[in-house]
Structure 1
Amino acid sequence: MICPVCKQSELREVPETSPLNATYKCLNCGTQVMVAKADDADDKKEFKAVFVRQADGSMQEIQFNE
């Protein structure tokens, strides 16, 4: 998965802190991307929302295709 902000680097997964989302960090620009997983009972890891942490600390939802 390429960083949606700088488009220069692969995102690296941060060790999972919640079963409801996955967090990734760009090694180039430091952008944090949080992906909310769908509520599927069989846990297909389908995503329903993607958020990017902005420089001011706020989260912005984005459209993102792997």
Structure 2
Amino acid sequence: MTQIDPDSTDPVAVFAGNAQHDQTFPKQEQNYEKLSDYLELNASYLPAMSIFDEAYEKYREKMQY
């Protein structure tokens, strides 16, 4: 959710914005596999899982500090 930028066309920012509006997105979940499974089954707004992979990597880097 930290990547949300309504003025950006960056795929991660667009994904973050769409996930924010997804009422059932597991926002508190941290497990990659659980998030990935949810997105594969429920997120028609995500055109490619590589976008999620990039967003998750940014999340992991941020959490290391």
- Measured against the shorter chain, the TM-score band is under 0.3
Structure with greater helix share of residues: 2
Q: Which has the higher contact order (CA 8 A, sep 6+)?
A: 2
- Higher normalized strand content (fraction of residues): 1
